[in-house]
Structure 1
Amino acid sequence: MNILLARTFDLFDKTKPADGIFGVIPGSQKDAALGGSANLFVETISYVVIAAGVVAGLILLGMLIMGAITYMTSAGDEKVLTRAKQQMTNAVIGFVIIAMSYWIVRIIGTIFGLPNILKPTFIGP
């Protein structure tokens, strides 16, 4: 399993940016080097994906706790047990969807030459 993951990351590192095919893409490294303002788009995507991951993790935790409490207090009632199991299953499915969105954004960033798409920069004092 670890070998498969290592090979996947190895493929990402050797992928050519799409700049050579499509010209200078807004938000890419070349655009940033030229002083382009498209980095706002990249930073926005970065903040949204990371915030969605944090919120999804908190919602997952809350839904799992609520489902577990419902499951424990069901007193053998089949309707309540089914509802609790469904709630916990839905929580995990939703979290998997959010986790997949992280990887999709990372793959798209690699293809288009945006290696820092998931590394937000904080501007402050």
Structure 2
Amino acid sequence: MANLTDIDTQVQPFFAIRSLDTFLPNLIQIVLVIGALAALLFLFWGGVSYITSGGDKEATKAAREKITNAVIGLAILAIVWVLWRLIVYFLGLSPGFRGPFRIQIPTP
């Protein structure tokens, strides 16, 4: 049986901010994913409400509004994502994207 001697027993924080250039993109990505999941859930809820409205005019109208709002939310999220990718590209904030000029964010 092999002995393990190099085990790191120090507890690492789950959400540690090591530098701003990694924190901000990760935060925006998390917010976009949560927003997209919420919009898709709202879209699903509107669809189920529409199906179960049973011909009631008010219930159908409310379900259509839910679906419309969910689609608008997804469109806004898509626009924000495109704008974020353009900002990252043109400012060169991500190592995977090289823009016309580069801003170096100092790290401790």
**TM exceeding 0.5:** yes
Structure with more of its chain in helix, by fraction: 1
What stretches of structure 2 of length at least 5 have no aligned partner?
A: 1-17, 98-108
Structure 1 runs of 4+ aligned residues shifted over 4 Å read none
Aligned to 1:98: 77
State how many pairs are aligned: 80
Q: Distance in 1 between matches of 2:95 and 2:74?
A: 23
Match runs of 1:1-125 below 5 Å? 40-116=19-95
Normalising by structure 1, what TM-score? 0.56
* 3-state SS, counterpart of residue 55 of structure 2: coil
Query: Considering only CA atoms, is the larger Rg found in Structure 1 or Structure 2?
Result: 2
The CA RMSD measured in Å over matched residues stands at 2.1
Aligned to 1:16: none
Aligned sequence identity (%): 29
AA aligned to 1:73 is T
The offset of 1:41, in angstroms, is: 2.2
Closer, same or farther in 2 for the Cα pair 1:79/1:90, shift >3 Å? same
What stretches of structure 1 of length at least 5 have no aligned partner?
A: 1-38, 119-125
Normalising by structure 2, what TM-score? 0.64
Q: Distance in 1 between matches of 2:96 and 2:58?
A: 45
Q: Distance in 2 between matches of 1:40 and 1:117?
A: 17
